[in-house]
Each structure stands twice: as C-alpha cells, then as structure tokens.
Amino acid sequence: MSAGGTAGIPRTGGCPRGGAPGGGAPGPRLAALDGVRVLAAFSVLFYHYTALDSAWGEPAAGVFPAAHALAAYGWLGVEIFFLVSGFVICMSAWGRTVGDFAVSRISRLFPAYWAAVAFTSLVLFTWPEVRKVESFSDVVVNLSMLQAGIGVPHVDDAYWTLFVELKFYVLFALVVMRGLTYRNCVLFCGIWTLAGVVAPTVDNDLLSFFAVSSASPYFIAGIAFHLMRRFRPNAVLWGVVGVQFLLAQHHVHARMISSLGRRATEQTPAWPAHAVIVLGFAVMAAIALGALDRVRWRWLPQAGAVTYPLYLIHMMAGLTLIHHFRDDVPPVPLALGVTALMVALAWLIHRFVERPLGRVLRDGLRRGVQDIRSGTPRPAVLGRVPAQPAAPGAERIPAARS
C-alpha cells in the first residue's frame, strides 16, 4: 500500500473548472478518495486472508471455495493505492518547499510504520509459525524503511510497496525543488513514462531502479487526474492518462504471476483484473471531474485514516494468528475475527501513536528545516544559556542560569 493517500487528505487546492487556475480557496475535502482507499485496503486484506495458502495449511481454494475466486484479485488494491497516491501527493505538495514536502512525508509515514514493525516483530518472535525473523538486526534495519535497498528481508512482505512509494517521493521531490507548476508536472509525467518504457530494454540498474515500470503508470495517472481537477481537463492530460492506462493493462499478467504464482495465473482468468483497473481509472476520473464531490459521509475520513496502519499490520501478524488458531476456530469466524482485531489495533495505532508522534516529529523536523534555511542553527544549551555578545559600549548582562 501507499501512504500517499494519507489520513489527512488535504482539501483540494486551486480552482477546478472555473476561476483562476491554481488560485482561490481550498475546496471541499475529497471524501471519495478516503472511500477508494478503504475499498483498496480491504481488498488487499481479503486477498491475504482468503487467497493465500500459508496460514491455513491447505489450499485456500478448499477453505473458501466461493470467496477464493474473488479474493484472487485483491492484490489489485495495491495498484489502486498507487493511483490515489499520485493524486494526493501532487495535491498535498502544491505550494510547498522541498523541505516542507520532506517533513510532511516523513512525519506521516514513520510513526505508524515504527509501531507496525514493533508489533509484527513481537508476534513473529512469539509465534514463528508462518514467518521467522532471522535476526534482531533485521528488525532494526526495517525501522529505516530502506531494507529493500540493501537486501535485508522485510519483517512483513507488505512493506515492499513502501519502498516503491519512497522512490516516487524522491523523484517528485525533484519537481517540488524545481517548482511545482503545471508545466513541470506534465514534463515529469512525460519523462517518467519514457523511463518506464525504456528501462526494461536497456541494461541500466539505476534507470530500472527508479523507473518502477509496473507501478509508475498509476502514480503518473494520479498526477494527471489531479492536474485535471486543479486546472480543468484537456487533451494533453487525457492523453497522459490514456497512455498510463494502456501501460497498466500491459503489466497485469506479470503482476498476476508475482502475486499468485505462474501456475495459479494460468488457471485464473485475467479479464477481471483488467476490469478492476478500468474501474479504478474511471472512479479517479470521476473524482477529478468533480462527479463525486457530493460524497461527504462523515465516517469516510475516519475510516480512511485507519487504512495505512491497517495495511502495515494486517499481513504477517494476521496470517500468524490465523495459523495459530485455525484448529480451534472455524475459517469464516476466524478470518472475520482477525480482521476485526486488526482494524481495532490499526485504530489504536492511529489514535495513540500516529497522531501524537506525528505531531512531535513534524514540529522537530520543521525546526531542523528552518535551521538549514537560515544557515545558522541555534547553539546548544548545556548547563548555561550562552551569553549574547554585547553591543559596543553597552552594559554586559550576566547569562541566566538554567
């Protein structure tokens, strides 16, 4: 999952379909984005709990004969998350400096992630039934969120999407640094599209690393959808979205193999996966055009706020609990019970870790960014407050004791 579509989805900036482009007061909160994130999160959870065999000790198709056929496509929730992330990151970064952008991403991603790594590690150390944590050092490295870059195993397999998101943030930070304008965003979409097309055909590790060919079409389409909303749609933006849609469809087969395995992919129809992508693009287009602005259910923002911590904790911890209690509880009540438990824990992490720690981290990082901007950090105070140099001829004032 992406954390780009974050708990506090900002209000729409600019003045879509009327008024001065890029100006004006913020529009209403896009609750429909929260709804998309909720559906995507539960589709991924549904896939992990009812389509994977690892927790049940037998083929999940035999445990859930009816649900399994639908759950086999739940991995597409990740693709939808990437689509939302492109939209939300472009929206939330508008008008910010690169320092502000970095502060917002770090303070949003890490508090819940640290809690999730600690929780999942505790579960896996206690019941090493589905997955073992090889060493405590792996847990420590996972706290950086950079483990995929140095070959350290993920504590939870779901974390692979976070490293993809980080690549997107690094690339988009270059746009923010240059100046987040309509022109620069369109140029970025074009350059990243070209990189994604070229990367599989050349032997260049750095290009392949940042091109993320199977994921970039969703991020790019999300950016284009936000530009439609902020400035109004035009042929160029529809062209960008159309190209990304075709590229996304191209990667479906490879993503099915990576999610289901080659043998299962050969036995699973691909058309529903293509249809889900069509639906995802259609819903984001509706949001971009304002067709879903009337969706303002009050519970959606609260539900959307829980999706990030839910994604972080649900997989390995949930599969371990299912495996541990599978002989004592029937499959359907067990899957539902573990789902309810994960939702409750995700809310607790959001309420008592993510929000308060996020504020503390954000305030501290902002002060650090201000020191970088000023070029003159405030001196440390160790025991005494340093005396300020007195003006010539002025009476010296003794330093205050701490």
Which residue, chain included where needed, has tokens 């990082």? Answer: 365
Residue of 224, 221, 311, 288 lying closest to 30 (CA atoms): 288
pLDDT of residue 375: 80
What's the CA gap between 50 and 67, in Å, rounded? 7
DSSP 242-297: HHHHHHHHHTHHHHHHHHH-HHHHHTS-SHHHHHHHHHHHHHHHHHHTTTTTT---
**Three-state SS at 382:** strand
The residue that leads in pLDDT, 259 or 402, is: 259
pTM of the model: 0.89
Q: Is the pLDDT of residue 35 over 90?
A: yes
The pLDDT, as a whole number, for residue 337 is 98
Distance CA 124, CA 157 (A): 13
Q: How far apart are CA 234 and CA 238, in angstroms?
A: 6
DSSP string for residues in 322-377: HHHHTTTS-HHHHHHHHHHHHHHHHHHHIIIIIHHHHHHHHHHHHHHHHHHHHS-P
Burial of 349 (0-12, 13-18, 19+ CB in 10 A): buried
Instruction: List the end-to-end C-alpha distance of the chain, in Å, as a whole number.
Output: 47
Does residue 222 surpass a pLDDT of 90?
Answer: yes
Average pLDDT, the chain: 89
318 class by beta-carbon count within 10 Å (0-12 exposed, 13-18 middle, 19+ buried): buried
Q: What is the mean pLDDT of residues 318-325?
A: 96
User: Per DSSP, which regions of 75-226 are E strands?
Assistant: none
At 68, which amino acid appears?
H
Q: Which residue has the tokens 């690393």?
A: 209
Residue 51 to residue 58: CA distance in whole angstroms = 11
Render 2-48 in DSSP notation, one character per residue: -SSS-SSPPPP-S-TTSSSTT-SS-----HHHHHHHHHHHHHHHHHH
pLDDT recorded at residue 151: 95
Dist CA 180 CA 96 (whole Å)? 8
Q: What is the pLDDT of residues 111-150, one digit of tens each?
A: 999 999 999 999 999 999 999 998 999 999 999 999 999 9
Q: Would you state the pLDDT for residue 4?
A: 53
- Tokens matching residue 319: 């599969």
**Average confidence (pLDDT) over 8-26:** 40
User: Exposed, middle or buried by CB within 10 Å (0-12, 13-18, 19+), for 298?
Assistant: exposed
In this predicted structure, the answer to whether residue 394 has a pLDDT above a threshold of 70 is no
Is residue 81 over pLDDT 50?
yes
DSSP-assigned letters across all residues of 122-168: HHHHH-TTS-----HHHHHHHTTT-GGGGTPPPSSGGGHHHHHHHHH
